[in-house]
Chain A
Amino acid sequence: DGGITQSPKYLFRKEGQNVTLSCEQNLNHDAMYWYRQDPGQGLRLIYYSQIVNDFQKGDIAEGYSVSREKKESFPLTVTSAQKNPTAFYLCASSISLKGTDTQYFGPGTRLTVL
């Protein structure tokens, strides 16, 4: 069964802690993305990656970091530098970065800072 998995579904973090959100895909897609969703804000792009060992900042990259060591995996670390990390985080992938390619989304991780 092909798709995108994100874990955990819910994550709680204390202020000052770094946390890592997992994203794995078995669709053999080259491109992967991280979005942040806040109520009434739509989705905003954090980072994206076109290929292994390469990634680019999106619109709101400050306080986040990523890695792309394997084609299937694109973990996101929310660092203590992120001022307001409580949000719903969505990972997506597509065959390539071509504008016509459909992005497929994972089920999301809801992060809450205590």
Chain B
Amino acid sequence: AQSVTQLGSHVSVSEGALVLLRCNYSSSVPPYLFWYVQYPNQGLQLLLKYTSAATLVKGINGFEAEFKKSETSFHLTKPSAHMSDAAEYFCAVTREAGTALIFGKGTTLSVSS
């Protein structure tokens, strides 16, 4: 069965520092993977998705993620954090039957000046 593990429920960085949010997945079929961002009391917004094309996926707001099959990972990165990046981030994988998503528990990113 499909599953997603996000390592670290809370990550803190300084403004201008590298952002690295970790996501590992388990899937019995080739996975489709997503990263979403959620600001307080709002819905989720898609950052990027992997659908078996290029393994390095570029998303909005300067974020990117690399699909590594050998490591079953899909980590999210951004070279330089901005205060506005402070939010909760969710990694998700499509279920085997191609229906709804399975979400990780989320990682809260804090950015300090």
Contacts and interface: CB of A to CB of B under 8 A. Distances in A.
Bound pair (A, B) = yes
B103 interface: yes
Q: Chain B contact residues (Cβ within 8 angstroms of A): what range? A: 20 to 34
Contacts of B104: 42
Q: Chain A contact residues (Cβ within 8 angstroms of B): what range? A: 20 to 34
A7 B48 CA distance: 27
Interface in B8-34: 9, 32, 34
Interface stretch (A12-20, A63-71, A102-110): A102-110
Contacts, number: 61
Interface string A87-112: 01010100001111011111110100
Minimum-distance CB pairs A-B, first 8: A99-B94, A105-B43, A99-B98, A42-B103, A42-B105, A100-B51, A105-B44, A43-B103
Interface of B: 9, 32, 34, 36, 41-46, 49, 51, 90, 94-95, 98-101, 103-106
